[in-house]
C-alpha cells in the first residue's frame, strides 16, 4: 500500500510523493513562555509519529522546528517574573527538551530561533517591499493581502464567508483590515533590533517563512503544526512565502494536529486552562502519556481526561509482558511466522493510511495478546511486536521491569477459555473465570475488538 497523507490545502488524502530527497519537514515550534503543557505534547508526539513512519517506510527526513524566542508573551512573562525575555526563553526551552525527551520525541535536526535569524528576517521584509507586496507606515511594515489573489485557499476563509480572527477595524495607516504586520516599531522598554524602518521586531508570520527558507529552501514537503495555527498564521505564511519566492507550492502537504481541549476550550497558556507536561510526568510514566495520545488519530481532537492516561498506564502491563526478552537476536526483516507477517502487514496498512496511530495501536495490542499466549512462534511474534513498539516510539524498554508479568500467558489463556465458554452460552462458568481473575487483581474489559485486561493493586 502507498503511504497516503491528508493535505489541508486540498482537503483530501493524497499519495505521498516527496519533492526530492530528503523529505523536508518543518514544524511550528513552541513559544517558550512557560513549561510545555499537554497540548504541546499532543502536537509534537503527532509530528514525531509522522517522522518515524516516514523513516520506517525508507525515506530520509530533514526535520526543522523553530522556537519563537521573542514575542509579546515572552516579554510579558519576563515582566511578571522580574527577568529578561532572553532568560524566559532559555528557561522554558530547556523545560521543553527535558519533557519531550522523556516522551521519546526525537530531536529535530535544526532548531532555528527568531533572534538568531533577525538579519535574514529584515532582508525577507525588504524583498517583499521591493516586489510590491508590502508597504511602510511609519516604523511598521504591512503585507498587502489584496495583492495575493489566492489568499484564503489554505484555511477556506474568504472575505465572503467572514475572516474570523482578522481585525475588522482599520488601524492607522493600514490599507485593508486584513493586512498583517511584517515588522513592528519598537515600544519603549521592549527588546528591539535595527532595520531600515527603525528599531523594532518582526511580526509573527514572517518569522517562520524566513526560518523555513534559511534551513530547508524555498519549497518543502510537509509543514506541520497545531490546528489552531491554520488561520491566520499558516495562511499568512503561505501568502508571503509564495510572493517572495515566486514558487508554488510553498508547501506540498500541510498537516495539522488536532488540539487538546479542556471542556469546550483548547488547552492553552493564554487562558490558563492547561496541565503542564512536567506535572503529568510526575504522576504517570512517559509511555502512558505517549500511548494516550497515540490512541487518537493525529488530526482528531483530544478531550483531556486524566482517567484516559490512567487507563493507558494500566494497559502498559500487557505491552511490557509481551516486550519481554528475546531468547536470541533476530535480524531485521526476518519475521517468518505467517501470523507475525500478517500482523505486521496490518500494522503497516494502518500507518500508511494517513499515519493512523489509533489503528496501529489496535494491531499492537492484538500482537501483544498473541505473544502473551505463548507457543512455538512466540520469539518471532515478539520480534514483530518490538518492531511496532519502535515505530510508535513507545519507551517501554527502559522501565519494562515495572509491569512485566510472568503470569501474562496464563491470563491470556484464561481469557481465551472464557471467550469460548461465552460463545457456547456457558455464562456462569465464564463469569467464574472473570470473577476469579478479579480476586487476583486482574480486571477484564470487554469491547468490540475483544477482551483486554488490567492489573489493579
pLDDT at 104 exceeding the cut of 80: yes
At 14-43, the pLDDT tens digits run 999 999 999 999 999 999 999 999 999 999
pLDDT of residue 431: 79
Under 8 Å between Cβ of 181 and 203: yes
pLDDT at 336 exceeding the cut of 60: no
Separation between Cα atoms, residue 202 and residue 185, nearest integer Å: 9
Q: What is the mean pLDDT of residues 168-192?
A: 87
Separation between Cα atoms, residue 180 and residue 236, nearest integer Å: 8
Computed over every residue of the chain, the mean pLDDT equals: 89
**Other CB atoms within 10 A of residue 452 CB:** 18
Residue with C-alpha cell 518569522?
A: 207
pLDDT band, residue 398 (cuts 50/70/90): low
Q: What is the mean pLDDT of residues 222-228?
A: 97
pLDDT at 439 exceeding the cut of 90: no
Separation between Cα atoms, residue 126 and residue 29, nearest integer Å: 25
Residues in the chain: 457
Separation between Cα atoms, residue 415 and residue 311, nearest integer Å: 19
Q: What is the mean pLDDT of residues 351-372?
A: 97
pLDDT band, residue 171 (cuts 50/70/90): confident
Percent of the residues in the chain that have a pLDDT greater than 90, as a whole number: 74
Give the DSSP H or E segment for 179: none
pLDDT of residue 385: 96
pLDDT of residue 162: 47
At 280-301, the pLDDT tens digits run 999 999 999 999 999 999 999 9
pLDDT band, residue 274 (cuts 50/70/90): confident
Q: What is the mean pLDDT of residues 137-141?
A: 95
Q: What is the DSSP string of 4-31?
A: EEEETTTTEEEE---SSSSEEEEE----
Residue with C-alpha cell 490512567?
A: 310
pLDDT of residue 433: 76
Q: What is the DSSP string of 355-419?
A: --HHHHHHHHHHHHHHHHH--TTHHHHHHHHHHHHHHHT---GGGGGGT--TTHHHHHHHHHHHH
pLDDT of residue 164: 45
pLDDT band, residue 314 (cuts 50/70/90): very high
pLDDT of residue 8: 98
Percent of the residues in the chain that have a pLDDT greater than 70, as a whole number: 89
| DSSP symbol at 400 | G
pLDDT of residue 4: 98
Compare 313 and 456 and report the one with higher pLDDT. Answer: 313
Compare 146 and 164 and report the one with higher pLDDT. Answer: 146
Q: What is the mean pLDDT of residues 242-255?
A: 97
Amino acid at each position: 500500500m502507498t503511504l497516503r497523507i491528508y493535505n489541508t490545502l486540498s482537503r483530501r488524502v493524497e499519495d505521498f510523493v516527496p519533492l526530492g530527497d530528503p523529505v523536508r519537514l518543518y514544524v511550528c515550534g513552541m513559544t517558550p513562555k512557560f513549561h510545555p503543557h499537554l497540548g504541546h505534547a499532543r502536537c509534537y508526539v503527532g509530528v514525531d509519529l509522522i517522522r518515524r513512519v516516514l523513516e520506517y517506510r525508507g525515506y530520509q527526513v530533514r526535520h526543522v522546528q523553530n522556537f519563537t524566542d521573542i514575542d509579546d508573551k515572552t516579554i510579558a512573562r519576563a515582566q511578571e517574573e522580574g527577568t529578561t525575555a532572553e532568560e524566559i526563553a532559555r528557561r522554558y526551552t530547556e523545560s521543553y527538551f527535558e519533557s519531550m525527551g522523556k516522551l521519546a520525541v526525537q530531536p529535530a535536526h535544526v532548531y532555528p530561533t527568531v533572534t538568531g535569524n533577525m538579519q535574514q528576517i529584515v532582508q525577507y521584509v525588504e524583498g517583499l517591499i521591493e516586489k510590491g507586496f508590502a508597504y511602510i507606515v511609519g516604523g511598521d511594515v504591512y503585507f498587502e493581502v489584496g495583492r495575493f489573489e489566492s489568499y484564503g485557499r489554505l484555511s477556506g476563509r474568504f472575505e465572503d464567508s467572514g475572516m474570523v480572527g482578522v481585525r475588522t477595524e482599520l488601524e492607522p495607516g493600514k490599507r485593508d483590515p486584513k493586512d498583517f504586520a511584517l515588522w513592528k516599531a519598537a515600544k519603549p522598554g521592549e527588546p528591539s533590533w535595527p532595520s531600515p524602518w527603525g528599531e523594532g521586531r518582526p511580526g509573527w508570520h514572517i518569522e517562520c517563512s524566513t526560518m523555513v527558507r534559511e534551513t530547508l529552501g524555498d519549497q518543502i514537503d510537509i509543514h506541520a503544526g497545531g490546528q489552531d495555527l491554520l488561520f491566520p498564521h499558516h495562511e499568512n505564511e503561505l501568502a508571503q512565502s509564495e510572493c517572495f519566492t515566486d514558487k508554488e507550492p510553498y508547501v506540498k502537504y500541510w498537516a495539522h494536529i488536532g488540539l487538546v481541549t479542556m471542556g469546550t476550550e483548547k488547552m492553552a497558556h493564554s487562558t490558563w486552562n492547561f496541565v503542564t507536561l512536567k506535572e503529568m510526568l510526575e504522576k504517570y510514566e512517559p509511555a502512558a502519556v505517549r500511548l494516550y495520545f497515540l490512541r487518537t488519530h493525529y488530526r482528531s481532537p483530544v478531550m483531556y481526561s486524566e482517567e484516559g492516561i490512567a487507563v493507558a498506564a494500566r494497559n502498559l502491563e500487557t505491552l511490557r509482558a509481551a516486550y519481554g526478552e528475546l531468547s536470541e537476536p533476530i535480524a531485521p526483516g526476518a519475521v517468518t511466522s505467517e501470523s507475525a507477517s500478517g500482523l505486521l502487514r496490518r500494522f503497516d496498512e494502518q500507518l500508511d493510511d494517513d499515519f493512523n496511530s489509533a489503528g496501529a495501536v489496535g494491531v499492537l495490542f492484538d500482537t501483544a495478546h498473541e505473544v502473551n499466549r505463548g507457543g512455538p512462534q512466540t520469539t518471532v511474534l515478539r520480534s514483530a511486536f518490538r518492531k511496532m513498539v519502535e515505530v510508535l516510539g513507545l519507551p517501554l524498554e527502559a522501565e519494562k521491569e515495572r509491569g512485566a508479568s510472568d503470569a501474562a500467558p496464563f491470563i491470556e489463556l484464561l481469557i481465551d477459555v472464557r471467550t469460548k465458554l461465552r460463545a457456547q452460552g456457558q455464562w456462569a462458568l465464564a463469569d467464574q473465570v472473570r470473577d476469579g481473575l478479579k480476586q487476583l487483581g486482574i480486571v477484564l474489559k470487554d469491547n468490540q475488538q475483544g477482551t483486554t485486561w488490567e492489573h489493579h493493586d
